[in-house]
Amino acid sequence: MAKKKIEQDDLSESFEEEVRAFLSNEEKLHLFDDLTKVNPVTTTTVLKCLQARYTVNLFYTNAGCSLVALNPFQPFSCLYSPELMREYHVALRPQDLKPHIFAVAEQTYRNVQSQIDPVNQSIIVSGESGAGKTWTSRCLMKFYASVAASVISPKGSETVERIEKRVLDSNPVMEAFGNACTLRNNNSSRFGKYIQLQLDRFHHLSSASIQTFLLEKTRVAYQAPNERNFHIFYQITKGA
């Protein structure tokens, strides 16, 4: 037993040395654009890498086939410009570009178009309250509306624009009934949203549907200290 404990202690010390050695090279931590490349993988090394990237305005980091997005809490219009959308859309291998929500969107769009094995695609946007899930969903919608519009038929482009507008215009209505002010977020979504986009045989956006689920109904009767009820009640009161 004593020998086994000594071996475990040696392994523990060796592992700690690896962690210290990895973290000692702080000026290069922001270069890790995929957390699977971090070695050794610990909570400390992963968080330090994300922190280093955040300080140089790199808010997206791959974690294998997943994407970690950090909320910058300030506008960065250049991160979501039409020019950047086109860059990811026309890239030979979008996954070779910097990690971005557009890279995820483009890869799923290409998977749907695959001539060998086209498969329906799903993107799960999850995170803490205030993490930026609603914003990310809007960016995805704008990207698909941009790349899935028909460049041949003006009527097809009008259809895509109309679908995008309806989906985005529905946000204020759903947010009124399903969003509330919390300690972390003044416009926190208190429900889940499932958006389904349908493409025609030419891979152009043809229709969309929205389903809601898991509404936090208990908020109507009780709100935590310093939090509020759903926006709709205050809007009605103000408009009365």
Average pLDDT estimate for 110-128: 89
Q: Is 131 annotated as a binding residue?
A: yes
Task: Say if residue 129 carries a ligand binding annotation.
Answer: yes
199 SS3 class = strand
- Residue 24: phi and psi, rounded to 5, are -70, -20
Please write the tens of the pLDDT for every residue from 65-76. Answer: 999 999 998 889
Superfamily of domain 71-239, CATH level 4: Kinesin motor domain (3.40.850.10)
pLDDT confidence tier of residue 153, bands split at 50, 70 and 90: low
Q: pLDDT-derived band of residue 10, with 50, 70 and 90 as boundaries?
A: very low
Do the annotations mark residue 128 as ligand-binding? yes
The per-residue pLDDT for range 62-106, each reduced to its tens digit, is: 999 999 999 998 889 899 999 999 999 999 999 999 999 999 999
- DSSP states of 49-96 as a string? HHHHHHHTT--EEEETTEEEE---SS--GGGG-HHHHHHHHH-S-GGG
pTM (2 decimals)?
0.83
Q: Say if residue 175 carries a ligand binding annotation.
A: no
189 annotated ligand binder: no
- Interacting residues of 3 by C-beta distance below 8 A, sequence separation 6+: none
| Planar angle of CA 203, 196, 166, nearest 5 degrees | 90
C-alpha to C-alpha distance for 102 and 95, rounded to whole angstroms: 10
133 annotated to a ligand binding site? yes
Query: Tell me: the pLDDT tens digits for 191-230?
Result: 999 999 998 888 888 899 999 999 999 999 999 999 999 9
Q: Is the dihedral of CA 75, 87, 163, 155 positive or negative?
A: positive
Are 213 and 191 contacting, i.e. CB atoms less than 8 angstroms apart?
A: yes
Indicate the average pLDDT of the chain: 88
Q: What percent of the chain has pLDDT over 70?
A: 91
Select from 82, 81, 46, 76 the least CA-distant residue to 64: 46
Does the structure show a pLDDT above 50 at 133?
Answer: yes
Question: What residues contact residue 96 under an 8 Å CB cut-off, 6+ apart?
Answer: none
Q: How far apart are CA 180 and CA 219, in angstroms?
A: 9
Beta bridge partners, 126, equal none
192 is in an annotated binding site: no
Domain ranges in the chain are 18-70, 71-239
Backbone φ, ψ for residue 183 (5° rounding): -65, -30
Separation between Cα atoms, residue 103 and residue 87, nearest integer Å: 10
* Cβ proximity of 188 and 181 under 8 Å: yes
Is 239 marked as a binding-site residue? Answer: no
